[in-house]
Amino acid sequence: MFALGPLGFLAPWLLVGLAALPVLWVLLRAVPPAPVKRRFPGVALLLGLTDDESQTDRTPWWLLLLRLLAVAALIIGFAGPVLNPQPQREGTGPLLIVADGTWADARDWSQRSARIETLLDDAARQGRQVALATLTDPPAELVFQDAAAVRQTLPNLQPKPWQPDPQALADWAETLPARFDTFWLSDGLARDERDTLLATFEAAGQVTAFQSPRQVTALRPATFKDGEIALSAVRTPSGPGSELQLNAIGRDPAGVERQLATAPLVFEPGASATDVALSLPPELRNRVTRFEVAGVRSAGAVSLTDDGLRRREVALISGSGSAEEVDLLSPLYYLREALEPTADIIDGSIPDILLGNPDVIVLADVATLSGSESADVLDWVEAGGLLLRFAGPRLAASDVGRDAEDPLLPVRLRDGGRTVGGAMSWGEPKALAPFDENSPFSGLPVPDDVTVTAQVMAQPDPTLSDRVIAQLADGTPLVTRKEQGEGQVVLVHVTANAEWSSLPLSGLFVQMLERLAVSTRPASPDAGDLEGTTWLPQQVLDAFGNLDDGTALPGIAGEVIAESAPGADLQPGLYASEDQSIAINAISADTTLATQQWPARIPVEGLVVETETPLKGWLLAAALALLAVDIIASLAVGGRLKGPRATAATVVLAAFLLAPQGAQAQDDDFAIAATSEVTLGYVMTGDQQTDDISSAGLQGLSNTLFRRTSIEPGPPMGIDLERDDLSLFPFLYWPVIADQPMPSSDAYGKLNRYLRGGGMILFDTQDADTVGFGGASPEGRRLQAIAAGLDIPEIEPIPDDHVLTRTFYLLQSYPGRYNSRDIWVEASPADAEQADGMPFRNLNDGVTPVVIGGNDWARAWAVDQYGDRMFPVGRGQAGERQREFAYRFGVNLIMHVLTGNYKSDQVHVPDLLERLGQ
Amino acid sequence: MTTPLALRADAEHLAAPLPPLLAEAEHLASTVLLGDHGRRRPGLGDTFWQYRPAQPYDATRMIDWRRSARTDAAYVQDKEWQIAQSVVLWIDSAAAMRFASSDSVPTKAHRARALALAVAILLSRGGERVGLTGLRLPPRRGAAQLDQMAAILSEDDTTDYGAPEAQGMLPHSRALFVSDFLGDLGPVEDALTRAADRGVRGALLQVLDPQEEAFPFDGRTVFESMTGSLKHETLKASDLRSRYLDRLAARKDRLSSLARMTGWQFTTHHTDSPAPSALLWLYQSLERRT
């Protein structure tokens, strides 16, 4: 292939033809355009006249140029030009194309796909057998197939949000066949296992690496340190300084996910990591669900947050109100110590605390709450709160939960409690029994030195055994729990200080609080913490940093979560168990990134592929277009562009030049027509006859308005709900027919905006002759279906004192072609009062957005082009009377639309009373 | 050498356009209201002109006794002088007249013949004798004369441009020449002067196609006369327009001055304008007495 810069030619010899162009120029120039023969009797007068200019016998230069360009385009086109021709790859034998397929690939995965595609194309040209694999998800067995077949599977190849597992890779390397060449698309990150794998590949054949020199950025998990969120971003340590943006994303109070905070990530030149501290108010901080580096599409740039970052709000309330207690004896001292590092502690009275809606309320030795407090706390628990109670002398001495179960206690309590191993009692202090599997404390080690000397006792109840979540060695309950609504009530049967037991002194106390989700983990959990728990994936990350629903995936044991790195078995994402959650991120806290340096013997190619673009078609099309222009130009030069030909040429040119401007002008015309006068609109139903009647009806109403009132409407306009702007019309008439298509969601949006913005729609089901309103007519059902999506307020049958009865005429019926009383309008407020001596209530609400009825008003109003009535109404004089009232209703309706509740004002009462004859 | 059969076929062919031509001419003629065509002086005639006192030279039998009986004097009834005028027509039948620039306008020849026949009909209704120049159809009256005239007018000539025949014009008669006058003006001048010598007055009607008046051509063009004997090639027809129009104007000017000198009337008629206007002009100019 012959190449000129980025342009290659398949048949370069044809370009020699370009040399003939100058010859063509001379030839074409010498030949004048062929003459037209005309019969013309006036020729006698022409004899002897000579042409002024000798120039005109030659083709004009621009026409020549046009033709030469056309010919040149033809020659070049047939020479087969190709933009960015790709050099052919040489090679035989089986070929392995392997991509790292990690999260670092995700950012430019489409580019990699395209590169693989071109490699496959090359392989297909050479007839090589190809196998395709990613290191993060190595296939069990490498199958070398025809390149075209492999190409079909290319879309299945997706990056994974984790790093390759060295062990799995080593196993995979064992299974590889003996001879193949390798194309290795690297993600650019240095990894230890690469060297061994590279040795394997090199042993099998030639290796070519593909790597683009670009920066990989990743975000380490967020930690909570000194009241601030500490975040650390890492990158491959090369290149100049850069500044990225960190976004904290979470749900706002309305439940919509949005960006809650941003912070700059500034990398010094050559630096590999940068730290940023984010100080957020607790309310905001607890809402953050993930951090991400803005603009980087990769799982590495997303860091999910879990309980580690959440700080629960814990309210501590103790029964002893005196401030003179010694610290160590305070019922709250140990709780405060245990919770302070991981939770926000609130003090105060119960009413104040409930306003703050804490996650947990701890009642230490509080026996009774006042009636309203108790009710409020119960409401709070049922809304999802956790009430943690500790026993104590007061609780033991009180009668709470003695005879009947108190809603704020999980069990009934026996009188007095018990004391063991004290100075005045027999027996040894009791130790704790190991936790049950069903207990939230399951898996926690029980230290030997935790003993209980006194406790409150639970009454044996049928439900007791279900509610015990920790017990002493002799089987007496130590911690009981019950579900109450969305929340739960937990009672620890000992005190929160060291008076009754040594539990608050032990590490178990903190772990138990953690398991109860009273406190949260300060750091990433270890295996011991998570032993015996099962974690269900809630959301999983894909390699591109998108969160997917993970609830369909199987649960994972706590040990696995604690120990494994993210992989196929442990997808990065958010895992939950009971009330706790753990985030598994693609990047761990100690991840560092380094650029992969390939040994000098391995050829490294870039990823960027210019796709081959054959230009032949474009050039031939250009040549054709030029020749088409040449036809018109030749006709013009030869004086033959006349009559129909000129018209056709003008039309063709105009079609090219003027086409795009039509639609806008049409919209403008519509808006101008609708707004230059008051214009009544009707909704086009798609049924020609109905639309014609609507138009004629509104024309009749417009005529009446014109004659009788100061409203002088323009001709009515039909409205296509999908296309037209409704806001131009004060009033829409909507005849509902049974087979009307449902409006689209866009149209619904427009209609709702219209109704909210003060527009009025008159729905007419045209069926009042057969059924009452809302009855089983097909039109009625259709109206219900259509109106379901509309923002229509509560409606009521039109009351006798509605303002529609007096906006222009005094009316008590609203007939159309049929005379039914069933007209529905927006309901008046329930508290509207009728003042004494007033004929109507004082209703100063807005214009009713809808009037719904079935009286077929359009037919009663309809006039034809000569102003004659189109449809009969009733019989004889009575019928004409009814038509007159139909017009009056129309006048009142339009007056109501345009003047609102003007006539509802009590100022008009005297006049109206006079007219009413009262 | 014509066989009777061929002659018959030719005659049929010739006769074919006659009825429509005649009908059209009749139709055209009916649009002109006939004014009184009398000579407005006493003389020989049928219609009453005046009573005058009898003069000594009047024969006794000339006295109108009925009128004279009412008075003492004798009266003679004068009739209006009704002398039939002779009008000869020359209609150009050359090939150039068979040109029509588009389907919407008639050929010049068609328009010229229709006008001529219409004039002939009008004149013969007015009691004049109508004929053609040359010796084939001397002026006569009557319907047969019109039929014959139509037959002769339907013949086509093969020359490019026609020349008027000045023969057969009676002294002090009237004449009408209808042509496009695009050919050589020499014969026209000749005929006009000879006519003027004999005291013949008349009208020249130039019938032109709208294209001949406008010359709407562009580009390289070969212009041919109707028979193809004359050719003119130009590379840029639009350049010729002004000079062509100058020449046409000069020619009209020449015809107009010729007419003025010889006491004739001249006008130009275009085939795309309505025929009755031209007919009216013809009628009035032939009626002119000077």
Structure tokens at A656: 């090219």
Residues A704 and A636 in one domain: no
Q: Do B221 and A640 touch (CB under 8 A)?
A: no
SS3 A214: coil
Could you tell me the residue ranges of all domains in chain B? 9-36+84-287, 48-79
Q: Verify that A797 and A847 share a domain, yes or no.
A: yes
Concatenated DSSP letters of A859-917: HHH-B-TTS-B-S--SSHHHHHHHHHHHHHHHHHHHHHHHHTTGGGSGGGHHHHHHHHT
Question: How far apart, in whole angstroms, are the C-alpha atoms of residue A285 and residue A261?
Answer: 9
Q: Are residues A429 and A323 in the same domain?
A: yes
- Cβ atoms within 10 A of the Cβ of A416, count? 10
Q: How far apart are CA A365 and CA A489, in angstroms?
A: 14
* pLDDT band at A912; cut points 50, 70, 90: confident
Provide the 10 A C-beta neighbour count for residue A652.
12
Domain assignment present for residue A287? The answer is: no
Helix (H) and strand (E) counts in chain A: 26, 42
The residue segments making up the domain with residue A162 are 95-215+595-609
Q: CA-nearest residue of chain A to B98?
A: A41
Q: Are residues A763 and A854 in the same domain?
A: yes
Q: What is the per-residue pLDDT across A815-826, written as a single tens digit (0 to 9) for each?
A: 888 887 778 888
CB-based contact B287:B119 (threshold 8 Å): no
Degrees to nearest 5, angle at CA B146 with B140 and B151: 120
Q: CB A881: neighbour CB atoms within 10 A? A: 13
Please give the tally of structural domains in chain A: 4
Between residues A518 and A332, which one has the greater pLDDT? Answer: A332
Q: Using pLDDT thresholds of 50, 70 and 90, give the confidence band for residue B266.
A: very high
Report the pLDDT value the prediction gives residue B23, as an integer from 0 to 100. Answer: 57
**Is it the case that residue A761 has pLDDT exceeding 80?**
yes
* The 3-state secondary structure of A99-154, one letter per residue: ECCCHHHHCCHHHHHHHHHHHHHHHHHHCCEEEEEECCCCCCCCCCEEHHHHHHHH
State the Cα–Cα distance between residues B124 and B116, nearest whole angstrom.
Answer: 12
Instruction: Identify whether the C-beta of residue A266 lies closer than 8 Å to the C-beta of residue A233.
Output: no
Whether pLDDT at A211 is above 50 = yes
To the nearest whole percent, how much of chain A has pLDDT over 70?
89
> For residue A240, is it within any domain?
no
Please report the pLDDT score of residue B25 as a whole number.
64
| A683 and A795 part of one domain | yes
Query: Which pLDDT score is estimated for B2?
Result: 39
Q: What is the pLDDT of residue A576?
A: 83
Examine residue A508 and state whether it is found in any structural domain, yes or no: yes
Interface touch B219/A638, C-beta < 8 Å: yes
Judged by average pLDDT, the poorest of A92-106, A629-643, A865-879 is A629-643
Per-residue pLDDT reduced to its tens digit, A826-850: 877 766 666 666 666 666 556 788 8
According to the model, what pLDDT value does residue A696 have? 92
Interface contact B253, partner A, CB < 8 A: no
Question: Mean pLDDT over all residues of chain A?
Answer: 81
Going across the sheet that includes A242-251, the strands are A257-267, A242-251, A288-293, A302-304
A31 domain residue, yes or no = no
Domain end point (choices A515, A548, A578): A515
Q: Which of B97, B209, B247 sits opposite A45 (nearest CB)?
A: B247
What is the per-residue pLDDT across B75-123, written as a single tens digit (0 to 9) for each?
998 877 666 678 888 988 888 888 888 888 888 888 888 888 888 887 7
Q: What is the DSSP code string of A589-616?
A: TT----B----TTS-EE-S--PPPEE-H
Residues A250/A289, Cβ–Cβ less than 8 Å? yes
DSSP state letters, A432-454? BPPPPSSSTTTT----TT-EESE
CA distance A638 to B237: 10
Q: Which of B104, B215, B218 to mutate to test the interface with A (most CBs of A within 10 A)?
A: B218
At residue B261's C-alpha, the angle toward residues B260 and B267, to 5°, is 25
The token pair that represents A543 in the structure block? 């390699």
Query: Would you say residue A703 lies in a domain?
Result: yes
Specify if A411 maps to a domain: yes
Chain A CB contacts of B215 under 8 Å are 42
Residue A860: closest CA among A658, A662, A699: A699
Q: Is residue A373 part of a domain?
A: yes
Query: Is residue A728 domain-shared with residue A842, that is, in the same domain?
Result: yes
- List residues bridging with A479 in a β-sheet: A470, A492
Here the CATH number for the domain that contains residue A178 is 3.40.50.410
Task: Sort strands B48-53 and B75-79 into parallel, antiparallel or unpaired.
Answer: antiparallel
- Verify that A101 and A177 share a domain, yes or no: yes
Cβ atoms of B258 and B189 within 8 Å: the answer is: yes
Predicted local confidence at residue A104, as pLDDT? 85
**A837 and A691 in a common domain:** yes
Q: Which of B99, B212, B222 lies nearest to residue A37, judging by beta carbons?
A: B222
Query: Is A417 inside a domain boundary?
Result: yes
Q: Which fold has domain B9-36+84-287?
A: Rossmann fold (3.40.50)
One domain for residues A760 and A653 = no
Report chain A residues touching chain B, CB-CB < 8 A: 32-47, 49, 51-53, 56-57, 637-640, 642
Both A685 and A779 in one domain: the answer is yes
Instruction: Evaluate if residue B253 carries a pLDDT over 90.
Output: yes
* Alpha carbon A504 to chain centroid, angstroms: 47
B75 in contact with A at a CB cutoff of 8 Å?
Answer: no
Lowest mean pLDDT among A37-46, A93-102, B4-13: B4-13
> Closest by alpha carbon to B197, among B176, B169, B164?
B169
Q: Are residues A638 and A707 in the same domain?
A: no
Average pLDDT, chain B: 80
Residue A412 sits in the same domain as residue A490: yes
Cβ contacts of A43 on chain B, cutoff 8 Å? 223-225, 230-232
pLDDT at A86: 66
Closest-CA distance, B165 to chain A, in angstroms, reads 21
